[in-house]
Amino acid sequence: MPSLKDLKNRIESVKSTRKITKAMQMVAAAKLRRAQEAAEDSRPYTKRFNAVMAGLAASVGGSESAPKLLRGTGSDQNQLLVVMTAERGLCGGFNSNIAKLARQKAAELKAAGKTVKILTVGKKGRDALKRDLGDDFIGHVDLSEVKRVGYANAQDIAKGILTRFDAGEFDVATIFFAEFVNVVTQIPTAQQIIPASFEASEGESTGAVYDYEPGEEQILADLLPRGVATQIFSALLENGASEQGARMSAMDNATRNAGDMIDKLTIQFNRSRQAVITNELIEIISGAEAL
């Protein structure tokens, strides 16, 4: 049974931990507001951009004149998985859920005889996958020094991916991220970005409603690389909001658990102290009776 001193030290230790988790919860809450606003503000642009691109893609169809980013290479043998996670932990199952989805996708592709290549964005995704899929890694993007993720970061990632595609290193590219719903719900999502796949929203027409000048093929050739960067940027913003929401929820749970542990340890401490006092009283009374 632990001594009174051990119990007291443990109570103080848990109290210190509770202060840390409470502070981290408050910081995450402040960052969440900004990250959520950024993610939600980007959705209308991404939605409209995808609608326009869907209309252009539908008018071009699968013709030979369509850009390579749209029609693909004609094969799906080489698959690139871009796993986007956080640079830091202590955010519940946020990182592990994305890594789990990517691991499942990789297993399915390998079972079908496909070649899998992995590009990680974020240290936690790399750490989670390197043991099982380390031989499939082809690169890593470190954003640990970036204070606030911007479109320039998405452009750099997209440029690297497009360079590999032009070099023939892969046929299909899929990004993995977490879609932000609310503080307690973040949905791990897989989205194909190469060959480009655009879905028009409800009420949007994918038919050729407008006359484009220059032609659709030329416009697509210019917009498709931007579309890849836009999708990556949107995923980074969704990840940012999801990370802070998951961290806020995890730190709130940790703070509550620390409070429960302090209550239990305090009860145990009081009982042990009472037992010590009772034993001392018994010894005193027994000694007095012996005299």
pLDDT in tens, 227-283: 899 999 999 999 999 999 999 999 999 999 999 999 999 999 898 888 888 887 887
Sheet holding 137-141, edge to edge: 137-141, 115-121, 78-84, 172-182, 185-194
Is pLDDT at 146 greater than 90 in this prediction? no
Locate 198 and state its tokens. 């655009």
- pLDDT at position 203 over 80: no
Q: What's the pTM?
A: 0.84
Looking at the structure, tell me whether residues 57 and 110 fall in a common domain. Answer: yes
Residue 25 is assigned to a structural domain of this protein: no
Locate 278 and state its tokens.
Answer: 């009772």
Mean of pLDDT values over 41-67: 78
CATH number, residue 255: 1.10.287.80
Range of the domain at 138: 35-250
Q: For the chain, how many structural domains are there in total?
A: 2
pLDDT of 206 higher than 50: no
> DSSP assignment, residue 122?
S
Indicate whether 164 pLDDT > 80: yes
Share of the chain above pLDDT 90, in %: 53
Same domain, 165 and 58: yes
Mean pLDDT taken over the chain: 87
Helices (H), 61-138: 68-71, 94-111, 123-133
- For the annotated catalytic residues, the residue numbers are 91
What's the pLDDT score for residue 3?
83
Contact between 162 and 228 (Cβ < 8 Å): yes
Q: Which residue has the higher pLDDT, 126 or 3?
A: 126
Tokens of 101: 């989805």
Q: Is residue 28 in a domain?
A: no
Same-domain status, 240 and 136: yes
- Predicted confidence at residue 251, as pLDDT, reads 94
Domain membership of residue 245 (yes or no) is: yes
The DSSP code sequence of 207-270 is S--S--SS-HHHHHHHHHHHHHHHHHHHHHHHHHHHHHHHHHHHHHHHHHHHHHHHHHHHHHHH
Residue 208 has pLDDT above 50, yes or no: no
**CATH code (residue 189):** 3.40.1380.10
User: Are 114 and 89 contained in the same domain?
Assistant: yes
10 and 82 co-located in one domain: no
Q: Give residue 201's pLDDT.
A: 53
Helix (H, G, I), strand (E, B) or coil at 44: helix
Report residue 141: phi and psi, to 5°: -110, 120
Instruction: Note whether residue 30 is domain-resident.
Output: no
Same domain, 232 and 281: no
DSSP structural state of residue 103 = H
Q: Do 270 and 127 lie in a common domain?
A: no
